[in-house]
Structure 1
Amino acid sequence: MERLSLTLALGDYEHTRDLATGQVPVQGVSLNVLTLAPEEAFFRFTFFREWEVSEMSMGKYVSLRSQEDKGITAIPVFPSRVFRQSMIYVREGGKIDRPEQLKGKRIGIPEWAQTAVIYSRGYLTHQAKVPLGSVEWVQAGVNQAGRVEKVKPKLPEGVRLRPEPQHSLNDMLLAGDIDAVLSARPPRGFGSGIRRLFPDYEAVEAAYFRETGIFPIMHVIVIKTDVLERHPWLAMSFYKAFEEAKRRSVERLSDITASHAPLAWLAPYTERMKNLFGEDFWPYGLEKNRTTLQAFVDFAFEQGVCHRRLELEELFPKQVLTSFKV
Structure 2
Amino acid sequence: MFYAPGKFHRAGGTHWFEGLGDVIRLTIGFGDNPRIQPLKDGTVKPDSIKLEFQASRNLFYHNLAIDDLDCSEMDISETILAKERTDGTRWDWTAVPIFLSRAYGWTGILVNDSSGIETLADLKGKRVAVPDYDMTFALWMRCVSGTKGQRIILSRGS
Query: Taking structure 2 as the reference length, what is the TM-score of the superposition?
Result: 0.65
C-alpha change, 1:53 and 1:94, in structure 2 (3 Å) is same
**Residues of 1 paired with 2:61 and 2:145: CA distance?**
27
Counterpart of 1:103 in structure 2: which amino acid? K
Name the SS for the 2:73 alignment partner: strand
Corresponding residue number in structure 2 for 1:59: 77
RMSD: 2.8
CA-CA distance at 1:27 after TM superposition: 3.4
C-alpha change, 1:109 and 1:18, in structure 2 (3 Å) is closer
Contact kept? 2:29, 2:56, Cα under 8 Å: yes
Trace 1:1-326 onto structure 2 (pairs within 5 A): 1=21, 3-34=23-54, 40-67=58-85, 70-91=91-112, 94-99=114-119, 100-125=121-146, 130-135=147-152, 137-140=153-156, 142-143=157-158
Higher helix share: 1
Name the SS for the 1:73 alignment partner: strand
**Residues of 2 paired with 1:31 and 1:65: CA distance?**
26
C-alpha change, 1:116 and 1:29, in structure 2 (3 Å) is same
**Residues of 1 paired with 2:151 and 2:100: CA distance?**
34
Residues 163-182 of structure 1, C-alpha deviation per residue, up to 9 Å, x if partnerless?
Answer: xxxxxxxxxxxxxxxxxxxx
C-alpha change, 1:71 and 1:139, in structure 2 (3 Å) is farther
C-alpha change, 1:50 and 1:139, in structure 2 (3 Å) is farther
Counterpart of 1:19 in structure 2: which amino acid? L
Q: How many residues align?
A: 134
C-alpha change, 1:71 and 1:20, in structure 2 (3 Å) is same
Name the SS for the 1:74 alignment partner: strand
Contact kept? 1:59, 1:118, Cα under 8 Å: yes
Structure 1 portions without partners, runs of 5+: 144-326
Contact kept? 2:77, 2:136, Cα under 8 Å: yes
C-alpha change, 1:94 and 1:48, in structure 2 (3 Å) is farther
Name the SS for the 1:61 alignment partner: helix
Residues 99-149 of structure 1, C-alpha deviation per residue, up to 9 Å, x if partnerless?
Answer: 343222223334332101011112322xxxx343433x2442x22xxxxxx
Corresponding residue number in structure 2 for 1:316: none
CA-CA distance at 1:80 after TM superposition: 2.0
- Sequence identity, in percent? 21
Contact kept? 2:117, 2:123, Cα under 8 Å: no
Structure 2 portions without partners, runs of 5+: 1-20
